[in-house]
Amino acid sequence: MARPTRTTRHLNWRYLKSLLKQQGLSQIDLAHYIPLRPEQVSRLLRGLVRDPLGSTVERIAEFVGVIPSDLYTVDNASEALVLGENRSTYQTGRVIAVSKIANATESFPPPAPATSTPEGHGPYGAVTRPIADRAAFGVLILGDSMEPAYPAGTRVVASPACGVRDGRVHYIRDNTGKSYVRKIQTNGESYLLLPLNPTHLARRVSFNETAEIALVIAADLPE
């Protein structure tokens, strides 16, 4: 059996600068939130720090409303394709079928699934990622509850193997079949599902009502 290929990754400082600009945020704002000295943030945003501490990247991701893996770029690739875990191994060129939907409402009915799809693709397309978890699956996000990070039409990859992480974005399906992609907080015997768009309300799903939950580890934004 061939050994998995390890991939060299580094902070995608150009993407981070564009996120700050899009949201009207300054380097000083970011420095206060992490917290870091302004000159340290300046070095990050000039590409002079290729591999900052994972805890720093977590704080940056929270500040700009994305998942940490989206802030990395991979050598010879356009964006982050990794789990964000030190123990991860990576496999290149894997096609992950997008066969689930989330955030569907009457205002945003699900699109008709494709009647014929390429091999390995799901009815809503596919995402290609080097992901270690063989049980990872693809989800199409509908509606605007996760803007600005994940607008309608975003395809995300969710990994059951990564477990539940407070403060991170997850795919969650309850016992009635309703599915969401939300940032979660564990609260007593339930999950609090938090949208990124402040015009939407938070939801609560008890552990007993949760049929499926998986950490979102990568995203493809709509073109």
Most confidently predicted of 49-58, 107-116, 182-191: 182-191
Using CA atoms, how far apart are residues 129 and 203, in angstroms rounded to an integer? 30
Strands (E), 56-142: 72-74, 94-102, 126-129, 137-141
Using CA atoms, how far apart are residues 109 and 65, in angstroms rounded to an integer? 25
Q: How confident is the model at residue 132 (pLDDT cuts 50, 70, 90)?
A: low
Q: How confident is the model at residue 77 (pLDDT cuts 50, 70, 90)?
A: very low
Q: How confident is the model at residue 194 (pLDDT cuts 50, 70, 90)?
A: very high
Question: In percent, how much of the chain has pLDDT > 70?
Answer: 82
Cis peptide preceding 148, ω within 30 of 0: yes
Q: How confident is the model at residue 92 (pLDDT cuts 50, 70, 90)?
A: very low
pLDDT at 115 over 60: yes
**Who wins on pLDDT, 9 or 95?**
95
Cis peptide preceding 35, ω within 30 of 0: yes
pLDDT at 190: 95
Of 170, 196, 166, 192, which is closest to residue 181 (Cα–Cα)? 170
pLDDT at 70 over 80: no
pLDDT at 13: 85
**Per-residue pLDDT averaged across 59-66, rounded?**
79
Question: In percent, how much of the chain has pLDDT > 90?
Answer: 33
Of 130, 128, 157, which is closest to residue 141 (Cα–Cα)? 157
What tokens were used for 46?
């000039």
**Who wins on pLDDT, 74 or 189?**
189
**Per-residue pLDDT averaged across 62-78, rounded?**
65
Domains delineated in the chain: 9-74 (1.10.260.40), 94-220 (2.10.109.10)
**Per-residue pLDDT averaged across 194-219, rounded?**
91
What tokens were used for 211?
């049929």
pLDDT at 5 over 80: no
Of 65, 89, 81, which is closest to residue 9 (Cα–Cα)? 81
